[in-house]
Amino acid sequence: MTAPAPALSSRRERLAAVPIYLVATFAGADADEVLARAAAAASALMEAAGAAAVQLRLKDSGSQARRALLTRARRELPAGTLLLVNDDLEAVFDEAREALADGVHLGREDAAALAPRGVDATARTAAGLSAARARLGRDLLLGTSTRTLAELRTVLAAGADHVGLGAISTSTTKRDTRPADLVELVRCLQEFPRVPIFPLGGLGPENLGRVAAAGARRAAVGAGILAARDPAAAARACLRALTGATA
């Protein structure tokens, strides 16, 4: 069993130190394999960069299944790893309202579903994020997806504290995503240099140089690390590609 995560700084401070945000997608009965790969990659990132974050993406399952996976992941991931769950605000908490995760990532549609009745369609995503922030309180993390500077301004005002921006390249897990313009990434980074902005979508060691050239020093990576033969080596390669290190 891993030790409890250190409480030396806030979750936001710890997230700001994360260069590679791992997105672990679970499908069917592959939990053992995916968790082992995520743990190996997170351990490599903790050793090399001192910080790691893992988002659990378990589609077509209920909150109870996600809670069980969060509980297990907390045991198996290295101490200090930030742990988030995808698209399920209820899964963040157990029955006693204790936090099982460090936060949640809500896509546009899942955020919009949390909006109060009567909110205009164009404002539902922001309203849903505001509702999620109220449920989470100030300490837990709230992330969402963006493509443009205008969207980024809106979601930050609604309570998000970090975002995934993309898709930068074709994603193997979300084929219906629309591409994001790297020019927009540059604008977002320039206007909000202190906000953790994680370019995402089809990224890996071979193309992370594109976002690094745009000024990004963070990225969200899924299959580019977790589907690699050696996830720990892939994580280190991604870190080198993102930071420009040659060692």
- CA quadruple 51, 31, 86, 232: dihedral positive or negative? positive
pLDDT digits (tens, 9 = 90+) for 102-158: 999 999 999 999 999 999 999 999 999 999 999 999 999 999 999 999 999 999 999
For residue 7, the one-letter residue type is A
- Quickly tell me which residue has 């069980």 as its tokens: 68
Nearest to 87 by CA among 144, 172, 22: 144
- State the amino acid at position 184 in one-letter form: E
pLDDT for residue 177 is more than 80: no
User: Above 50 in pLDDT, residue 43?
Assistant: yes
Q: Confidence band (pLDDT; 50, 70, 90) for 244?
A: confident
* Boundaries of every domain in the chain: 11-243
Angle at 181 between CA 177 and CA 183, to 5 degrees: 160
d(CA 186, CA 190): 6
| Alpha-carbon span 89 to 92, nearest angstrom | 6
CATH class of the region 11-243: alpha beta
Q: Do the bridges between strand 20-26 and strand 197-200 make them parallel or antiparallel, or are there none, so unpaired?
A: unpaired
